[in-house]
């Protein structure tokens, strides 16, 4: 029997609703695969902030760090100034735990509707850099609220940070059947960061001679994600481009309710964190309208990361079977979770 500790951060909006279903499914497969999870839930997010003013105290972060993995629902609420929870909780976790690989797979299940008429065989993964870029908070504002206001948000790209994520993306491409890597950037305009990324990819490519390398400017990449998404295998890109591209990727491949992600620390110096690509969806929160599939598939990525591929496959197979039977009739969040958990339990 294998034993793992899991920190659970349900968070805001639909976060708790979808996390409940992910845990339900995780429990169903764990029992079948001789795995036990000891879970600790952390009360973080809007409610906590309103009550105490805290987003993520360092002492609690250090507690979370002691776990084998983290499952997160979603963070952000209209009652809290934009950015407070996103930066103070979610990005603090990603940055402090050095989640430099933000892994976001996209695939079209044969039975699921894509808004594209002929999407083809879509099965790619975005390796989004997770600790640098415009997300680092390297900016400021002058003369705020005046006509002379100046706001800057400077993207930080280090040779160290770019090389480690590029190397990870190459290794992932090499392990996949098509062995193709597409760097997405904007090096025709962002010439400092863009050239660092391009040079790094060209240099690391020599260590992976069997991987075919391709480059697209990010604007053109959005064209191809719609007109020919099947051309992609592994995409490596910076933090902000990866954020935008993966919402688009979700939209073309079954919707945001299916898109899972892993914030991976490949060196395993801290726990990795698994969460849906979507946010807290305040427009449908508390109504049992959210699709928990993305959270459930994030739990599969978690199992894979912990070295439990059979349990991960069990979840994926259960999701695939559930998706195949979707008729379009409305089911509650819990009904979808129940159906998938039942299948996953075998
Ligand atoms: P969102 O992803 O929360 O919602 C966008 C749209 O998708 C909404 O119409 C929503 O109802 C729908 N949607 C999202 N998840 C769904 C699901 N599982 N099933 C069905 N429909 C779903 O993005 P937003 O509206 O831009 O952001 C809302 C809040 O969430 C903001 O505070 C934002 O900062 C935060 N956010 C957090 C995360 C995260 O925690 N990882 C990710 C994105 C946004
Ligand atoms: C995501 C979200 C986050 C991001 C926000 C909430 C900080 O959009 O996980 O995709 O931009 O990374
Ligand atoms: Mn996003």
What pLDDT is stored for residue 169 in this prediction? Answer: 99
Q: What is the dihedral of CA 264, 265, 270, 272, to 10 degrees?
A: 10
What pLDDT is stored for residue 281 in this prediction? Answer: 98
Per-residue model confidence as pLDDT tens digits over 177-192 = 999 999 999 999 999 9
SS3 for 98-124, per residue?
Answer: CCCEEEEEEECCCCCCCCCCCCCCCEE
Identify the three-state secondary structure at position 19. Answer: helix
Give the other-Cβ count within 10 Å of 98's Cβ. 18
Q: Is 219 a catalytic residue?
A: yes
Q: How far is the CA of 330 from the centre of ligand 3 (A)?
A: 25
Q: Is 179 a catalytic residue?
A: no
Choose the residue to mutate in 278, 284, 290, 294 for probing ligand 1, maximizing ligand atoms within 8 Å of C-beta: 278
Give the other-Cβ count within 10 Å of 189's Cβ. 10
Tokens 């100046």 found at: 150
Intervals of the chain under pLDDT 50: none
DSSP state, 245?
A: H
The closest of 141, 131, 132, 138 to 153, measured between CA atoms, is 138
Residue tagged active-site, from 43, 66, 202, 219: 219
Q: Which two tokens stand for residue 276?
A: 């849906």
What pLDDT is stored for residue 274 in this prediction? Answer: 99
Q: What is the dihedral of CA 163, 164, 167, 171, to 10 degrees?
A: -170
Q: Is 247 a catalytic residue?
A: yes
Q: Which two tokens stand for residue 21?
A: 């279903």
Which residue has a Cα nearest atom 9 of ligand 2? 277
Identify the three-state secondary structure at position 104. Answer: strand
Q: Is 243 a catalytic residue?
A: yes
d(CA 10, CA 3): 22
As beta bridge partners, residue 182 has: 214, 235
Calculate the alpha carbon distances from 222 to 120, 226, 231 in Å. 16, 7, 12
Q: Which two tokens stand for residue 299?
A: 């739990």
The closest of 320, 329, 331, 208 to 340, measured between CA atoms, is 320
The model's pTM: 0.98
Q: H helices of the chain, where?
A: 15-32, 46-52, 58-65, 84-85, 92-96, 159-174, 191-205, 218-227, 239-252, 293-305, 309-324, 333-344
Q: Is 27 a catalytic residue?
A: no
The closest of 254, 280, 238, 271 to 126, measured between CA atoms, is 238
Residue tagged active-site, from 228, 247, 338, 342: 247
d(CA 175, CA 166): 14
ipTM for the predicted complex = 0.99
Give the chain's radius of gyration (CA, Å): 20
Is the Cβ–Cβ distance between 249 and 106 less than 8 Å? yes
Q: How far is the CA of 284 from the centre of ligand 3 (A)?
A: 17
Q: Which residues are known binding-site members for substrate?
A: 94, 104, 128, 219
Torsions phi, psi for 275 (to 5 deg): -160, 155
Per-residue model confidence as pLDDT tens digits over 130-163 = 999 999 999 999 999 999 999 999 999 999 999 9
Q: How far is the CA of 76 from the centre of ligand 1 (A)?
A: 9
Q: How far is the CA of 104 from the centre of ligand 1 (A)?
A: 16
Residue tagged active-site, from 42, 168, 186, 322: 186
Ligand 2 pocket, residue 86 CB under 6 Å: yes
Q: Which two tokens stand for residue 196?
A: 């660092």
Identify the three-state secondary structure at position 137. Answer: coil
Which residue has a Cα nearest atom 5 of ligand 2? 86
Give the other-Cβ count within 10 Å of 115's Cβ. 11
d(CA 210, CA 201): 14
Full set of structural domains in the chain with CATH: 1-101+263-346 (3.40.718.10), 114-253 (3.40.718.10)
Identify the three-state secondary structure at position 149. Answer: coil
What pLDDT is stored for residue 310 in this prediction? Answer: 97
Torsions phi, psi for 272 (to 5 deg): -85, 160
Residue tagged active-site, from 12, 24, 135, 233: 135
- For 26, residues 6+ apart whose C-beta sits below 8 A from its C-beta are 37, 71, 299, 302, 303, 315
Is the Cβ–Cβ distance between 90 and 55 less than 8 Å? no
């Amino acid at each position: 029997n294998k034993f793992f500790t899991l920190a659970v951060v349900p968070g805001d909006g639909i976060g708790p609703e979808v996390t409940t279903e992910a845990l339900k499914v995780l429990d169903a497969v764990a029992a079948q695969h001789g795995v036990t999870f000891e879970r600790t839930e952390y009360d973080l997010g809007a409610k906590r902030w309103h009550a105490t003013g805290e987003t993520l105290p360092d002492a609690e972060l250090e507690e979370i760090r002691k776990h084998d993995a983290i499952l997160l629902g979603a963070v952000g609420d209209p009652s809290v100034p934009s950015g407070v929870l996103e930066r103070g909780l979610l990005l603090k976790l990603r940055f402090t735990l050095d989640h430099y690989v933000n892994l976001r797979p996209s695939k079209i299940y044969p039975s699921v509707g894509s808004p594209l008429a002929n999407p083809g065989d879509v099965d790619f993964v975005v390796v989004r850099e997770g600790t640098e870029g415009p997300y680092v908070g390297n900016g400021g504002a002058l003369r705020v609220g005046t006509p002379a206001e100046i706001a800057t948000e400077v993207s930080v790209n280090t040779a160290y940070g770019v090389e480690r994520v590029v190397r990870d993306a190459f290794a992932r491409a090499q392990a996949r059947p098509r062995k193709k890597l597409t760097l997405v950037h904007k090096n025709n305009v962002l010439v400092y960061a863009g050239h660092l990324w391009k040079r790094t990819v060209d240099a690391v490519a020599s260590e992976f001679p069997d991987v075919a390398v391709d480059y697209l400017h990010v604007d053109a990449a959005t064209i191809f994600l719609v007109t020919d998404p099947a051309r992609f295998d592994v995409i490596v890109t910076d933090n902000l481009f990866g954020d935008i591209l993966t919402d688009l990727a979700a939209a073309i491949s079954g919707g945001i309710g299916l898109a899972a992600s892993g914030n991976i620390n490949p060196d395993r110096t801290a726990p990795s964190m698994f969460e849906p690509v979507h946010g807290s969806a305040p427009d449908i929160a508390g109504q049992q309208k959210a699709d928990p599939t993305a959270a459930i598939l994030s739990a599969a990525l978690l199992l894979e990361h912990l070295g439990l591929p059979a349990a991960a496959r069990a979840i994926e197979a259960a999701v695939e079977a559930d998706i195949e039977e979707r008729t379009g009739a409305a089911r509650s969040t819990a009904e979808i979770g129940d159906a998938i958990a039942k299948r996953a339990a075998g």
